[in-house]
């Protein structure tokens, strides 16, 4: 069995893709991207709207291509990417070629930044919890 696929909250998706949080929720509401069907447990509660890495790519391209392509043409672009998932570039129309490799590279760099930030937060929480428990009276420690 392979490693579980990472999913991203809308806030994480916004940070990684460089798109505003409202735009991420709007993309989910308009079915530009589909939220992962099962709820995911995260610190602070259950996340019901979670996105995959491929959803992040769709978000980045959807808003990156912007008004250059019609919504229908952008959807066809995503179908072409799905049909050729390892393609470096995809022809969006007669005059526009989309650099999928560059979009993936940018997302990967932002995901690495997110992972490093989460790891740093985890380390700080560990230090805070550890130092707090060492200062508590023995009767309060578990």
pLDDT over 90 (residue 136): no
Which two structure tokens, joined as six digits, stand for 75?
Answer: 């959807």
Among 15-24, 68-77, 98-107, 129-138, the minimum mean pLDDT is found in 129-138
Q: Which string of DSSP letters, residue by residue, matches 56-124?
A: HHHHHHHHHHGGGS-HHHHHHHHHHHHHSTT-SEEE-SSS-EEEHHHHHHHHHHHHHHHHHHHHHHHHH
Determine the pLDDT at residue 45: 64
Determine the pLDDT at residue 130: 47
Q: What is the pTM of this model?
A: 0.75
pLDDT tens by residue, 108-124: 999 999 999 988 887 77
Q: Can you list the domains of the chain with their CATH numbers? A: 10-140 (1.10.1660)
Determine the pLDDT at residue 39: 56
Can you tell me the mean pLDDT for 95-106?
Answer: 94
pLDDT over 50 (residue 69): yes
Do residues 104 and 112 lie in contact, with contact meaning Cβ atoms separated by under 8 Å? no
Write the Ramachandran bin of 30: left for phi over 0, alpha for psi from -120 to 50, otherwise beta: alpha
Which two structure tokens, joined as six digits, stand for 32?
Answer: 């530009």
């Amino acid at each position: 069995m392979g490693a579980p696929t990472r999913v991203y909250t809308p806030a994480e998706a916004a940070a990684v893709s460089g798109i505003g949080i409202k735009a991420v929720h709007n993309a989910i509401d308009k079915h530009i991207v589909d939220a992962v069907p099962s709820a995911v447990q995260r610190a602070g509660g259950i996340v019901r709207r979670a996105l995959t890495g491929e959803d992040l790519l769709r978000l980045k391209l959807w808003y990156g291509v912007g008004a250059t392509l019609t919504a229908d043409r952008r959807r066809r672009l995503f179908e072409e990417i799905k049909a050729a998932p390892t393609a470096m570039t995809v022809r969006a129309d007669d005059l526009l070629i989309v650099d999928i490799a560059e979009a993936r590279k940018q997302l990967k760099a932002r995901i690495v930044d997110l992972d490093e930030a989460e790891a740093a937060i985890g380390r700080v929480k560990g230090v805070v919890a550890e130092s707090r428990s060492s200062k508590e009276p023995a009767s309060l420690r578990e």
